[in-house]
Structure 1
Amino acid sequence: MTWTSKWRPALFAALLALLLGAVTGWGAPPAHAATSTAVTVDGTQPGRTFDGIGAISGGGGNSRLLIDYPEPQRSRILDYLFKPGYGASLQFLKLEVGGDTNSTDGAEPSHMHTRDKVDCNSGYEWWIAEQAKARNPHIKLQALSWGAPGWIGNGNFWSQDMIDYLMSWFGCAKKHGLAIDYVGGWNERGWDADWFKQLKSTLMAKGYRTKVVAAESFGWDVADAMAKDSEFKDAVDVIGSHYPCGYQSAFTSCPSSDVAQSMDKPLWASENGSLDTDGGAKAVARAINRDYIDGKMTAFVNWPVIASLYPNLFFSTDGMSIANQPWSGAYHIGATTWVTAHTAQFTRPGWSYIDSASGYLGGDRSNGSYVSLKSHDGSDYSTVIETMDATAEQTVNLTVRGGLPTGTVHVWSTDVKSSGTDDDFVRGADITPVDGSYSLTLEPGHVYTLTTTSGQGKGTATSPAKAALQLPYSDSFDKRAASKSPRYFTDMNGAFETTACAGGRSGTCLRQMAPTSPIRWTDEPYNAPYSIMGDGSWSNYTVTADALFSEKGTVELLGRVGQQGRNNNGLNAYHLRVSNNGTWSIDKSDTTWKFTRLTGGRTNTLGLNKWHTVAFTLQDTKLTASVDGKELGSVTDYSLSSGQAGLGVTGYQSQQFDNFDLTPGAPSPQHLGPVTSGLTDTCLEAENGADADGTRVLAGDCAGSTAQTWWWGNGQLRLGSSAGRCLDVTGAGTDNGSPVELWECNGGGNQQWVPQADGTLQGQQSGRCLAVPGSDATQQLVIQDCDGTAANQRWTLP
């Protein structure tokens, strides 16, 4: 970053250029002329009203683990999200209206599992909204549904039942001291114009001033429908579109439509993001500016607010930050936090854009973009500049007029290219304009904010170190957790909540609350309720729970839970299933929900409303089932070597669980030495002996070097020792030919390897095997379709 010692007005810069020209040769242009952009920030010029920068809690359990964090880490993470002048400083929070159904990476519990009972303390969204309001009383709140309980409208979302359901949710919001500023329809499922008309009239009749957002789907065709239906147009206050810059793209172009812009209504990028907290920061920096420049969108809403979910779930690193270890308190503040802060810390909803001071540097979007906003009374302004795609330094020359302040300008910057946190959200030297003009040199890959506001800052809290959740672990469900969900459990379908025990047992038990299959948002072929918890590095253990059959059906204990398919479309896991009629089985599922029965049989009838103790032991390749202390059977399987535990039911029955317990088994063998290939005299090797993230892994001539020394245990191969980096499939790839490298161990399924009886090493996440591509041992290793007869896929562990 280049900061000049004194900021000169444009005139001074021009005189300096003339002087340099005289020295180097009058009229001879420099070999690489830098782009220079003149921007006039004029307070009299028009622009649309800014509605805020926000994020979404929901759309799939992404905030679930945060409520279980210990203090003070929990409060520090919340400060980084919502506290003004500290971190992301979010101005808007969208909340999922839970529907007992999976809505991406989990299921949010409903406040009405049945038509006749309202529970205003279900879930954790009320809690996170209260925490946001406590830190920023001005934050705006929106409600949006992804799914709904099955009783609504006999399965029809667009029904009066659904409107009544939302009104009961609004009633719960009141009980929590929360006013809901905006409400939408059905996330990414289009619209029903008559339903929106009825929703608006119901809100008005009940005295709510809540504004209606439509359609919360892709594109702007809802504006076309509104243009043809005046009543529909009157019912909608905000037109919200998802991913107007493209889905999981670089967000370089963000158009709306002419019809939408002609509606005289706010246009929002009402869901954006779905990107890694660090790797997606560049795209988010572009979109926050370009949404307005290209499409006149006045709000940017990131999905999700935080990645507080387990690493084996598909979108596990998306959000402002990552908080996935509530037992250790560890968290990571992502780069997306700081590119967001460059707008959110220096503006407030109700400010106005200045259209004439917003655009592309040098008129070319590859140089970067800038937007300027002013306060409602003209007492402050901020200009936000991003140079994500620039390849050289540039100069911006700003002139301020039209009643805006011409005094000291504060400068903040983030080097988004840098991986170091010291380069995030740095305050630079103040600028003193001369006659309202000043200049700034812009570096590539940066975000800058030039502002007359004050009170900004970069939070100082730091995370503790990561640590594994140690076994043994138990939960009787009698000790009150932070929510009705037991500590560390996260539901994937249905709703597992603590309630009074049945069957003559006193105390508190865990019950599956959803009585029927919900109105779903996801389309997984198997949508039975289950809930998972714990550490992905667990290998050998016994999971035990007491179970009561409230009605006919099947309960299950899950073990070695690994990678989940996108939107719950599969799960690598072992399942011990026991039915009330005494039938039992040990099954294996994969990331397409293909089930394989490994063994099974029948024991005595267990009956209804009686408690039974079910146990599932996973020791190396042996899996054993027990009920009431009696071993039912066992089987050997090589597929899954480590993973979490869980509970489930195979249908929407209200079965209960109690006394959940995890006891460690005997440790798996852990050895240190070379890993030899089936090819002649070749060994697994870190390229050039390096041990940094991203180091390629090859199969070199066996030499006994440190680059060929590996620790094997708990399904991981680590370089050099049990503390080394892990053998990792790059980017969690699953395609045939995906490369393999070293990476910091994180417990992900792409770092878990299962030795098979034929000598192959199968990746837990992909189901493909570690291979030397072709016969050239100097090439980077890959994963391939498993072939136990191929020498390039056979390995001998230490």
Structure 2
Amino acid sequence: MTQASRHRIPLLAVLILVMGFLAGVTLTPPAHAAVSTSITVDGSGSGRVFDGVGAISGGGGNSRLLPDYPEPQRSRLLDYLFKPSYGAALQTLKIEVGGDTNSTDGAEASHEHTRGAVDCGQGYEWWLAEQAKARNPNIKLYGLAWGAPGWIGGGNFWSQDMVDYLMSWLGCAKQHGLTIDYLGGWNERNWNAGWYEKLRSALNAGGYSSIKVVAADSGWDVADAMTSDSAFRNAVDIVGTHYPCGYMTAFTSCPSTSNAQNLGKPLWASENGSEDADGGAPAVARAINRDYIDGRMTSYINWPVIAALYPNLHYATDGMSIAAQPWSGNYSIGRTTWVTAQTTQFTGPGWHYIDSGSGYLGGNRANGSYVTLKSTNNSDYSTVIETMDATAAQTANFTVAGGLSTGQVHVWSTRVNSSNSADQLVHATDVTPSGGKYSLTLQPGYVYTVTTTTGQGKGTATPPSSASMSLPYSDDFETAATTTSPKYFADMNGAFQRVSCGGSRSGSCVRQMAATTPIRWTGESYNAPYTIMGDGSWSNYTVAADAMLEQSGSVELLGRANLQATNNNGLNAYHFRVSDSGAWSIVKSDTSWHFTTLASGTTTALGLNRWHRLSLKLQDTTLTAAVDGTTVGSATDASYTNGQPGFGVTGYQTDQFDNFALTAGTASQQHIGPVRSALSGKCVDDNGASTTSGTKIQLWDCNGGAAQTWWWGNGQLRLGGSDGKCVDVTGQGTANGTLVDLWDCNGGTNQQWTPQSDGTLKGVQSGRCLDVPNAGTTNGTQLEIWDCNGGTNQRWTLPS
């Protein structure tokens, strides 16, 4: 900085101080900051081509509920994802090539369940891609398979069948008016070099030579293989790796390898994220910058695009936003949306990184990072800065050169850990450089974008309040949903599709379409098809449906399905199963897929291709099963107090269902009063009797006040009454020491508690108990969850 410019800076600071202060941006001399960084924005400098920031729909049902949202909420959610100058403004959408098999939190439907029977209307990914393109015609589309139907290659993914399957999928894309830009192999299942060569040849021969092949959506070792195999190297256009910054970490370091960087091909973080929509925003802010700084990766793709799935599923809060209540229209826009927008709204694919304008503040990654990109017009530029780990204000001194604009610079900012929307994507101030130079003061915990571009914006849509889904509920499947899946149903394995009824019945029914066990991505011990729906807070109800078996085997109704283990490795639920022979059972499953038979017997044979009415009544601890209106048996079990209904088949059979119905049972006895600790004279207390979400749940002297009045029912503790907010495990955490607070009741298993015989309250999601840390008795001690041990600090007396 020259002496002349030092004298001019305070004059500029006077003009922008008032606007910039609240957003964490002020114009100050470097001497006023503990750390000072010189950033050279030189348009003639070298750097790789930027390929964009995107997100993934797939890897298991994470977008499933979005099509069933009502308007205008559905359009608003889509706008926040894809509309330029509104929200995340995603530049790439990666979609799953469905395979009828669980691929994390659900199964994506195949377009070809059986060989040769191509149905381009299957699933919801085409619908989502169409919606994305309608909002941003320039968005890039990327296809990748997690699994595949079992007929492919006799169970061998790396087969010519799979190449042909992808070619037919591209034909479906064309039918939908969609152009696929990128195509991968098998998600996180390594690679087969010869298969990629066959794929490249098939694409070229089929008129898809413009599609770029990505390999291997796994680790960097694929670059080692490509280094020594020229045919493999020539077949692949982009090296894509997953979680280069580590899995579910703070994403502080994001390296690649020298072999990868020396291939002369674009390097991508083709899957990153797996972070909470709010709590994961700092990690995402780091990774978008550091992928390039550390590893020269030119694309960041977040998993998933949205958490439009039920709260009992493992990754229920990961993504840009959360949309788990299509019946109420409630949703929340995550802070990850805004840290993403700080790059996407100010850059575009085809821009170039400027290496001299990219690095770590003060040369230390603990201070934060910055990257600079120049536009294809060779005039505009944007510098994105994150200060996630900084502990004090610091100064950035910019020098603009190399033909880039030295005109007015616009500064936008997001205070990442703030829940106040006024702190997110704020146009903080404008700066006019002097002699191509200017300085900014950067506050800790922010993402800043310094840009010469204009036209950015921020959506202001407000969601409706959350609400329970009311009973009774029924669906005869005569009215088509937005997609081929029945409304509100989320498939966990297999594919449940609305079709014309069989068994001489007219109208529409739901059929399980996967006729053989798929090539699987997950490794659960029990992988039969089932689908679930509705409100996880439901407790006493009857679930009923007509069922018709097409092959010998069993169909089932599910009730009180709550916590599902990671990758469908178990489910807390009750099952009523009936076979074509008439054998029936009431069975309990758990999160390790251990099955306990609670009752069993034999009734009149159901036979094949004949319709029968099945029902399962769940009333308090009594479970009652009926066939064609006649009770066949009952059982008593207190393991699960609430959860969703559903139906399924116990093998890969194409059985059918119709006339699904839910009716409310008699309300459980509900009690209001204090929750007393076994620690003498202490009660569960809501800090200050506040109804603000996030208020800590604490220990306090029992006083009978409003802050200690709790409603107990359906496995939930609600403040003040049945319409109050819930005792909630913060962020759906499951680790020892995770704190407990007050939150909007949403049916999540982190808000469900099961009383144990020793007086403890076990969290349904975590399996850990409500606990007073270290058995402390100090008023104001915030409660947590901890391994159940039966200690006095874990024993509670519920209202009676």
Q: TM-score, normalising length from structure 1? A: 0.94
Residue equivalent to 1:636: 636
Q: Return the alpha-carbon distance in structure 2 between the equivalents of residues 159 and 42 of structure 1.
A: 49
Residue equivalent to 1:430: 430
Residue equivalent to 2:383: 383
Deviations 1:115-161 (A, max 9, x none): 12000000010011111111111111111000000111111110101
The amino acid of 2:214's aligned partner reads: V
Shift of residue 772, structure 1, vs aligned partner: 5.3
Residue equivalent to 1:797: 799
Residue equivalent to 2:292: 292
Bigger mean CA offset, 140-149 vs 768-777: 768-777
CA contact (8 A) 2:33 2:394 kept: no
Residue equivalent to 2:106: 106
Bigger mean CA offset, 672-681 vs 222-231: 672-681
The DSSP-based 3-state class of the residue aligned with 1:64 is: coil
Q: Return the alpha-carbon distance in structure 1 between the equivalents of residues 33 and 487 of structure 2.
A: 60
CA contact (8 A) 2:30 2:395 kept: no
Structure 1 residues 610, 446: closer, same or farther in 2, change over 3 A?
Answer: same
Shift of residue 700, structure 1, vs aligned partner: 4.8
Q: Return the alpha-carbon distance in structure 2 between the equivalents of residues 789 and 242 of structure 1.
A: 43
Bigger mean CA offset, 593-602 vs 505-514: 593-602
Identity over aligned residues, as a percent?
Answer: 67
Q: Return the alpha-carbon distance in structure 1 between the equivalents of residues 694 and 429 of structure 2.
A: 36
Residue equivalent to 2:660: 660
Residue equivalent to 2:607: 607
- Residues 1:170 and 2:170 are matched in the alignment: yes
Residue equivalent to 1:20: none
Residue equivalent to 2:567: 567
Q: Return the alpha-carbon distance in structure 2 between the equivalents of residues 727 and 98 of structure 1.
A: 38
Q: Return the alpha-carbon distance in structure 2 between the equivalents of residues 154 and 420 of structure 1.
A: 54
Shift of residue 358, structure 1, vs aligned partner: 0.8
CA contact (8 A) 1:110 1:122 kept: yes
Deviations 1:568-588 (A, max 9, x none): 111111111111111111111
Structure 1 residues 38, 669: closer, same or farther in 2, change over 3 A?
Answer: same
- Residues 1:359 and 2:359 are matched in the alignment: yes
The DSSP-based 3-state class of the residue aligned with 1:618 is: strand
Deviations 1:457-514 (A, max 9, x none): 0012221111111111100011111111000001000000011101110000000000
Residue equivalent to 2:5: 12
- Residues 1:339 and 2:332 are matched in the alignment: no
Structure 1 residues 13, 494: closer, same or farther in 2, change over 3 A?
Answer: same
Q: Return the alpha-carbon distance in structure 1 between the equivalents of residues 260 and 558 of structure 2.
A: 49
Q: Return the alpha-carbon distance in structure 2 between the equivalents of residues 781 and 751 of structure 1.
A: 14
Q: Return the alpha-carbon distance in structure 1 between the equivalents of residues 432 and 663 of structure 2.
A: 66
The amino acid of 1:793's aligned partner reads: R
The DSSP-based 3-state class of the residue aligned with 1:575 is: strand
Residue equivalent to 2:138: 138
Q: Return the alpha-carbon distance in structure 2 between the equivalents of residues 782 and 795 of structure 1.
A: 17
Shift of residue 191, structure 1, vs aligned partner: 0.5
Deviations 1:230-249 (A, max 9, x none): 11110010001111111111
CA contact (8 A) 1:374 1:381 kept: yes
Deviations 1:525-554 (A, max 9, x none): 110100010011111111010000111111
The amino acid of 2:216's aligned partner reads: A
Bigger mean CA offset, 484-493 vs 726-735: 726-735
Q: Return the alpha-carbon distance in structure 2 between the equivalents of residues 351 and 703 of structure 1.
A: 63
Residue equivalent to 2:493: 493
Q: Return the alpha-carbon distance in structure 2 between the equivalents of residues 469 and 436 of structure 1.
A: 59
Q: Return the alpha-carbon distance in structure 1 between the equivalents of residues 251 and 3 of structure 2.
A: 32
Deviations 1:557-608 (A, max 9, x none): 1111111101111111111111111111111111111111111211111111
Deviations 1:413-459 (A, max 9, x none): 11112121110000122111122221111111111111111111001
Residue equivalent to 1:48: 48
Q: Return the alpha-carbon distance in structure 2 between the equivalents of residues 30 and 454 of structure 1.
A: 27
Q: Return the alpha-carbon distance in structure 2 between the equivalents of residues 108 and 152 of structure 1.
A: 16
Residue equivalent to 1:252: 252
Shift of residue 735, structure 1, vs aligned partner: 5.2
Structure 1 residues 613, 10: closer, same or farther in 2, change over 3 A?
Answer: farther
The DSSP-based 3-state class of the residue aligned with 1:600 is: strand
Shift of residue 782, structure 1, vs aligned partner: 5.0
Q: Return the alpha-carbon distance in structure 2 between the equivalents of residues 163 and 155 of structure 1.
A: 14
Residue equivalent to 2:468: 468
Shift of residue 16, structure 1, vs aligned partner: 7.2
Shift of residue 213, structure 1, vs aligned partner: 0.4
CA contact (8 A) 1:64 1:124 kept: yes
Q: Return the alpha-carbon distance in structure 1 between the equivalents of residues 7 and 301 of structure 2.
A: 41
Residue equivalent to 1:323: 323
Residue equivalent to 2:373: 373
Shift of residue 36, structure 1, vs aligned partner: 1.5
Q: Return the alpha-carbon distance in structure 2 between the equivalents of residues 760 and 35 of structure 1.
A: 51
Structure 1 residues 405, 768: closer, same or farther in 2, change over 3 A?
Answer: closer
CA contact (8 A) 2:769 2:794 kept: no
The amino acid of 2:202's aligned partner reads: T
Structure 1 residues 521, 670: closer, same or farther in 2, change over 3 A?
Answer: same
The amino acid of 1:13's aligned partner reads: R
Q: Return the alpha-carbon distance in structure 1 between the equivalents of residues 653 and 456 of structure 2.
A: 52
Structure 1 residues 586, 214: closer, same or farther in 2, change over 3 A?
Answer: same
Q: Return the alpha-carbon distance in structure 1 between the equivalents of residues 795 and 94 of structure 2.
A: 48
Shift of residue 725, structure 1, vs aligned partner: 3.1
Structure 1 residues 268, 771: closer, same or farther in 2, change over 3 A?
Answer: closer
Bigger mean CA offset, 755-764 vs 392-401: 755-764
The DSSP-based 3-state class of the residue aligned with 1:56 is: strand
Q: Return the alpha-carbon distance in structure 1 between the equivalents of residues 239 and 730 of structure 2.
A: 39
Deviations 1:741-783 (A, max 9, x none): 4333222112112335665433322344445567654465555
Structure 1 residues 611, 757: closer, same or farther in 2, change over 3 A?
Answer: farther
Structure 1 residues 652, 16: closer, same or farther in 2, change over 3 A?
Answer: closer
Q: Return the alpha-carbon distance in structure 1 between the equivalents of residues 597 and 60 of structure 2.
A: 29
Shift of residue 250, structure 1, vs aligned partner: 0.8
Residue equivalent to 2:20: none
Structure 1 residues 384, 11: closer, same or farther in 2, change over 3 A?
Answer: farther
Residue equivalent to 1:408: 408
The amino acid of 2:562's aligned partner reads: G
Shift of residue 34, structure 1, vs aligned partner: 2.0
Shift of residue 9, structure 1, vs aligned partner: 8.0
Structure 1 residues 410, 760: closer, same or farther in 2, change over 3 A?
Answer: closer
Q: Return the alpha-carbon distance in structure 2 between the equivalents of residues 772 and 295 of structure 1.
A: 44
The DSSP-based 3-state class of the residue aligned with 1:429 is: strand
- Residues 1:549 and 2:549 are matched in the alignment: yes
Structure 1 residues 406, 771: closer, same or farther in 2, change over 3 A?
Answer: closer
Shift of residue 65, structure 1, vs aligned partner: 0.6
Q: Return the alpha-carbon distance in structure 1 between the equivalents of residues 660 and 256 of structure 2.
A: 51
Residue equivalent to 1:25: none
Shift of residue 740, structure 1, vs aligned partner: 4.0
Q: Return the alpha-carbon distance in structure 1 between the equivalents of residues 266 and 164 of structure 2.
A: 27
Shift of residue 729, structure 1, vs aligned partner: 3.2
The DSSP-based 3-state class of the residue aligned with 1:428 is: strand
The DSSP-based 3-state class of the residue aligned with 1:411 is: strand
Residue equivalent to 1:217: 218
Residue equivalent to 2:14: none
Residue equivalent to 1:673: 673
Q: Return the alpha-carbon distance in structure 1 between the equivalents of residues 531 and 144 of structure 2.
A: 23
Structure 1 residues 327, 688: closer, same or farther in 2, change over 3 A?
Answer: closer
The amino acid of 2:580's aligned partner reads: N
Deviations 1:284-319 (A, max 9, x none): 111111111111111010001111111111111111
Which structure 2 segments of 5+ residues have no match?
Answer: 11-28
Q: TM-score, normalising length from structure 2? A: 0.94
CA contact (8 A) 1:572 1:765 kept: no
Residue equivalent to 1:504: 504
Backbone CA RMSD of aligned residues: 2.3
Shift of residue 791, structure 1, vs aligned partner: 9.4
CA contact (8 A) 1:578 1:585 kept: yes
Structure 1 residues 258, 116: closer, same or farther in 2, change over 3 A?
Answer: same
Residue equivalent to 1:62: 62
Structure 1 residues 700, 329: closer, same or farther in 2, change over 3 A?
Answer: closer
CA contact (8 A) 1:677 1:796 kept: no
Q: Return the alpha-carbon distance in structure 2 between the equivalents of residues 383 and 787 of structure 1.
A: 52
Q: Return the alpha-carbon distance in structure 1 between the equivalents of residues 103 and 159 of structure 2.
A: 20
